[in-house]
Amino acid sequence: MAPIYKIAIIQFQPKPIDIEANFKYAADEIRKAAAAGADIALLPEFHLTSWVPNHPEFVSASAASGAILSRYQDLARELNINIVPGTIVEAHTTTADPASGTTLVTTAPDDTSSGTLELRNMAFFVEAGTGKVLNRYQKTNLWHTERGHLTAPTLESASSAGSTTDWPPHKAFDTPLKWGDRFVRAGMLVCWDLAFPEAFRALVADGVDLILIPSYWDPYEDVDAESLAVNPECEVDYIRACLAARASENTVAVAFCNTGGVSQLAQPLLGLRGEIRPGATETKILEMDLDYLRVADNHYKVRADIKREGWHYEHTLRFPAKTAAPVSK
């Protein structure tokens, strides 16, 4: 029998620029989730500041929010729960000499003029008991309206900083959760990354079991009128379709926590479970039975195919798929 783990999906709409109020709500919900036996708490994207890039205090609030990560580390140690604190926008000072790298700003800077700070939308996995950050991921596929405000990782930027440690961006990692004689491997994506199957397949090639996705996606705003005229629920349908497809085609569990609703857990064979309606402020604790991943993998054999000698699409993967950990036990 494979273990059953509980994931707390904490859906809420953050208050713009109100870091302390948003953190307090998140921390209170994490405490409740830990008391209810949850193994992982998942928060939404931009959960400390909301997404208000044109607000005069957005850049300074983003810079200040970098210091909140340590408070989530304290919670993980105190409550013995793994925490994915949505995303936290980090502000990095840029320098004229790329070789000198960048420096993280964890307090609001005096100068927030354009060009002095680089904003990175970061997700973290904080380990239960120790508070150690086991993985950090910078959002790779930026939504159209984010591209003038945030930066995405590139091989060139990693190389110019003198390190390619964080490249390629889609990497799986061992969590403290056990599955037989090995650890459950997780990966993180953010919001619009959901639209790109290549990101999921890269994680599968690296042996992923569970993909955690914080999101800030309003299914009724920032949608063009022509699309809404065709189908007012087009974005809800899009999210559901992507979640179901990504879980099934890769035989992975996908936990999705979105400010705008449709948060849920997707698994192969089972489909979509525990959806939270748009507009709701709600936390759901959902059980993830890893044995269904084994059953699905034994049936579809996707991982066996991508590890097969001469697999047609091996050139699309940066990881050596032949060494990826199998799901089957």
Residue ranges of domains in the chain: 4-323
Q: 91-100, 218-227, 249-258: which range is least confident on average? A: 91-100
For the cut 70, the answer to whether the pLDDT of residue 162 exceeds it is no
Report the percentage of the chain scoring pLDDT > 70.
86
Q: Which helix (H) or strand (E) holds 299?
A: helix 291-300
Dmax over Cα atoms in the chain, in whole Å?
58
User: What local confidence, expressed as pLDDT, does residue 167 receive?
Assistant: 64
User: What local confidence, expressed as pLDDT, does residue 110 receive?
Assistant: 61
pLDDT digits 0-9 by tens, 37-92: 999 999 999 999 999 999 999 999 999 999 999 999 999 999 999 999 999 999 88
Counting DSSP H helices and E strands in the chain, the numbers are 9, 14
For the cut 70, the answer to whether the pLDDT of residue 98 exceeds it is no
Q: How far apart are CA 63 and CA 260, in angstroms?
A: 24
CATH architecture under which domain 4-323 falls: 4-Layer Sandwich (3.60)
Q: How far apart are CA 192 and CA 214, in angstroms?
A: 10
For the cut 70, the answer to whether the pLDDT of residue 100 exceeds it is no
87's tokens: 């995303």
Mean pLDDT of 104-108: 67
What does each C-alpha distance from 152 to 52, 90, 118 come to in angstroms?
18, 12, 10
Residues facing 89 on adjacent strands: 121
185's tokens: 């491997």
Q: Which amino acid is at 262?
A: V
pLDDT digits 0-9 by tens, 112-150: 554 578 899 999 999 999 999 999 999 999 999 999 999
Q: Locate tokens 């440690």: which residue?
A: 165
Q: Which helix (H) or strand (E) holds 212?
A: strand 210-215
Count Cβ atoms within 10 A of the Cβ of residue 82 and give its class: 0-12 exposed, 13-18 middle, 19 or more buried: buried
User: What local confidence, expressed as pLDDT, does residue 154 receive?
Assistant: 78
User: SS3 for 203?
Assistant: helix
User: SS3 for 58?
Assistant: helix
pLDDT digits 0-9 by tens, 257-308: 999 999 999 999 999 999 999 999 999 999 999 999 999 999 999 999 888 8
Q: How far apart are CA 204 and CA 322, in angstroms?
A: 11
Contact between residue 244 and residue 218 where contact means Cβ atoms under 8 Å apart: no
For the cut 90, the answer to whether the pLDDT of residue 251 exceeds it is yes
Q: Which residue has the higher pLDDT, 236 or 320?
A: 236
Q: Locate tokens 């879980």: which residue?
A: 247
User: SS3 for 70?
Assistant: helix
Q: Locate tokens 């193994």: which residue?
A: 39
* 96 confidence band (pLDDT: 50, 70, 90): low
Number of alpha carbons in the 13 Å side-chain half-sphere of residue 204? 27
Q: Which helix (H) or strand (E) holds 211?
A: strand 210-215
Q: How far apart are CA 140 and CA 187, in angstroms?
A: 13
Q: What angle do CA 43, 45, 48 make, to 5 degrees?
A: 80
